[in-house]
Structure 1
Amino acid sequence: MKMLTFVCRQSLSLCFLSTLLLSAGCGGSINADYSQLDLVEVSGTVTLDGQPLSGATVAFEAPDRTFSSGVTDASGHYTLMFNTEKSGCLTGQKTVRIKFVTDSETPEGETETEGAEKSPAASGQKVPEQYNQKSTLTATVDADHTSFNFDLKSKP
């Protein structure tokens, strides 16, 4: 019986020590290694009826629903981001979705900048659904194809 108690205590001590050592490695910063991903820098411009479209979100979505996205500036230019830290887009066939973030979708704590030009969404103009929810836009991203310009039409 004493031998069984001794073995149980040793086993518990070993389990506790193992758990302690394993947990010591957790909680550090994550240093992502993007070198194994086939990321390429993707950019371009978006116009609506020939005019630069500013403040629109451009998303390149893969069939597995992963995506890279960017927001157009005042000249309609965008650059895709893989995540919040890394620019780029995975290669392959993509569905392109272009839309505005509506007031109801604005992240909490963010407000429109005073004095900023009104975007088409703010002035009541919308990007037609054939460019967003039911997008007909596609792009094939690879090392030789990294610039994509879109001239959208408000009426089909």
Structure 2
Amino acid sequence: MRRLCLLAALVFLSGCCGRHVDLPPTARVNGTVTLDGSPVAGAQVQFIPDASQGTTGAPAMGFTDDTGKFDLVTATVKGAIVGHHRVRVEARAAPKDEMDTLPALLTPAIYADETKTPLTAEVVAGKTNQIDLQLTSQGERR
């Protein structure tokens, strides 16, 4: 009986361990972030599934390089969940010192607020989605 319980426990554990989170379908997403036409370096880009449009799941995130280019990742998968998203973009100045816990925003605050951002995107299955995000100092969508 003891061996049967041990065997059952091993079978259960082998099915639970070492697996990654199951995600809805994803597609590759890359693009460029600009502010008033200039590339934004070091920005965090986040695609948040829009449940009001029927898209649910984990958000995708990426960071821009020196030329403003980004690639998104959801959990450990390259890309974002297929569907409609609200898009957050946030770039901050380098901290002035150790006590500077929240450095100044370099992008308009409206783009960093997931409830107010005017940026939206649709991720389409079966292709690499090139989604360029053109920010303005006035916080408008272009």
More strand by percentage: 2
Shift of 1:101: 6.1
**Correspondence 1:23 to 2:5:** no
Task: State percent identity of aligned pairs.
Answer: 28
Shift of 1:39: 1.3
Name the structure 1 match of 2:99: none
CA RMSD across the alignment: 3.1
Number of residue equivalences: 123
**Correspondence 1:152 to 2:135:** yes
**Correspondence 1:129 to 2:109:** yes
Contact 1:39 1:88 in 2 (8 A): yes
Of 113, 117, 120, the match for 1:138: 120
Whole-angstrom CA distance in 2 between matches of 1:41 and 1:22? 39
| Structure 1 gap ranges (5+) | 1-13, 105-120
Shift of 1:139: 0.6
**Correspondence 1:95 to 2:92:** no
Name the structure 2 match of 1:86: 77
Shift of 1:145: 7.2
SS, match of residue 110 in structure 2: helix
Whole-angstrom CA distance in 2 between matches of 1:92 and 1:19? 44
Shift of 1:38: 1.8
The change in CA–CA distance for 1:22 and 1:102 in structure 2 (over 3 A counts) is farther
Contact 2:27 2:128 in 1 (8 A): no
| Structure 2 gap ranges (5+) | 96-101
Whole-angstrom CA distance in 2 between matches of 1:154 and 1:139? 20
- 1:70-123 deviations in whole A, cap 9, x for unaligned? 10000000011012x32011111100001136778xxxxxxxxxxxxxxxx96x
Shift of 1:20: 2.0
- 1:16-56 deviations in whole A, cap 9, x for unaligned? 4444223324278524487x842111100001121110111
Contact 2:93 2:105 in 1 (8 A): no
The change in CA–CA distance for 1:140 and 1:79 in structure 2 (over 3 A counts) is same
- 1:132-155 deviations in whole A, cap 9, x for unaligned? 212110011113671111111123
The change in CA–CA distance for 1:154 and 1:93 in structure 2 (over 3 A counts) is same
